[in-house]
Amino acid sequence: MTVFSETLESERLRFEIADQEQIDPLELYKRARSGAPDIEKVTEFVT
């Protein structure tokens, strides 16, 4: 049993758990680091 929901949704976004079983941490870093290709699109809703 988990304390947190696996998915949360807002009007604009859907949040899903991203853990090591679902995505490799190094792959996530490659996509979300400063200067990554399409970083503006990837982080469009991150404030």
- Using one digit for the tens of pLDDT, what is the confidence trace for 7-45? 899 998 888 877 778 888 898 888 888 888 888 888 887
Q: Are 32 and 42 in contact (CB under 8 A)?
A: yes
Is the predicted pLDDT of residue 4 greater than 80, yes or no? no
Q: How many CB atoms lie within 10 A of CB 42?
A: 13
Q: What is the pTM of this model?
A: 0.46
Q: Output the pLDDT for position 15.
A: 86
- Quickly state the pLDDT bin for 46 (edges 50, 70, 90): confident
Q: Are 36 and 30 in contact (CB under 8 A)?
A: yes
